[in-house]
Homo-oligomer: A and B are copies of this chain.
Amino acid sequence: MVRGLFGDHAETFPVFNGTGANVLSLQASIPRWGAVVCAASAHINTDENGAPERVAGIKLLTVDAPGGKLTPELIDRQAWGFGDEHRAQPAVVSLTQSTELGTVYSLEELRAVCDHAHSLGLKVHMDGARLSNGCAALGVGLREATTDAGVDIVSLGGTKNGLLGAEAIVVLDPTIRGLDYLRKMDMQLASKMRFVSAQLLALFEGDLWLRSAGHANDMAARLAAGVRDLPGVQITQPVEANAVFVVLEPGVADRLRKTFAFYDWDHARGEVRWVCSFDTTEGDVAAMADALRRAVSR
């Protein structure tokens, strides 16, 4: 199934969660002295409690990336010092599609990053926890969004797109090896793997992955449209996938939280993050827009 979606050389390794998919992918792609170039906003940097460093001994070389997107120029800020034994050697670029800021790399942007990384001898990892949302946004298939763009290894998300708990590592560069041993060693091998694989089959055999992700994206667009013109509401990122980032005036977020749960993104500037999912309904969106309308008018 995975080869049908990603290409004939793809190898796949189901795992339990996104942290596992990301850490194993990076660990498999670099030598022991390798480092990973990523956006400072990357999930692997901000939300894994140091798992890449702790479990895999990986140094992250971060760059501030507007909209959460890497570019060749941003990569160059960290991709240097090759051959200098004092510096952790850049070996992989890790990008997230769709990004942690709800934006989506275009195919051209992806190819530019991959081509640049490869020209420097680096491999490209895609944190695809929300890759389905990225594909839905771009209107392309998984292969176009990964293999054809030059990506070498993918953390393919399932849990954020409706599964109970299942992700997969998809290896596109056949020189990346040892995932079977690493998966066991890193405690991501299920003894009853069939119950993980079955979830992935349910999502990806047909077009459920694409329909669910497209629906989540649509709900985010609808939510953005419904609140964009409210007074004191400032949408801070292009709404391209299933997330809306908004700066609210003091007190508004707290009033809204009485009925809707969401995370602060940047407490200092009053920015919050709203994420829509496969089971967000039009009614949910309308209700939240209403609640916000009441909260800002107080």
Instruction: Please indicate the chain B residues that have their CB under 8 angstroms from the CB of A182 in the complex.
Output: 32-33
Contact present for A47 and B16 (CB under 8 Å): no
For residue A59, CB closer than 8 A to chain B, the reply is: yes
Instruction: Please indicate the chain B residues that have their CB under 8 angstroms from the CB of A85 in the complex.
Output: 49, 180-181, 183-184, 189
Instruction: Please indicate the chain B residues that have their CB under 8 angstroms from the CB of A186 in the complex.
Output: 51, 54-55, 187
- Give CA–CA (A168, B238) in the complex, Å: 42
Contact present for B48 and A86 (CB under 8 Å): yes
Instruction: Please indicate the chain B residues that have their CB under 8 angstroms from the CB of A51 in the complex.
Output: 184-187
For residue A144, CB closer than 8 A to chain B, the reply is: no
How many residues of A are counted as interface, with CB atoms below 8 angstroms from the partner's CB atoms? 49
**Selected contact of A19 from candidates B87, B159, B187, CB within 8 Å:** B187
Contact present for A191 and B159 (CB under 8 Å): yes
**Selected contact of A187 from candidates B23, B33, B159, CB within 8 Å:** B23
Contact present for B16 and A184 (CB under 8 Å): no
**Selected contact of A165 from candidates B46, B54, B55, B195, CB within 8 Å:** B195
For residue A106, CB closer than 8 A to chain B, the reply is: no
List, sorted by A's number, 27 A–B pairs whose CB atoms are closer than 8 Å. A16-B187, A17-B187, A17-B189, A19-B187, A19-B189, A20-B187, A31-B178, A32-B178, A33-B178, A47-B87, A49-B87, A49-B184, A50-B58, A51-B187, A53-B88, A55-B187, A85-B180, A85-B181, A85-B189, A86-B184, A88-B185, A159-B192, A165-B190, A165-B192, A186-B187, A187-B187, A187-B188
Chain A residues within CB distance 8 Å of chain B: 16-20, 23, 27, 31-33, 35, 46-51, 53-55, 57-59, 62, 85-89, 159-160, 164-165, 178, 180-192, 195-196
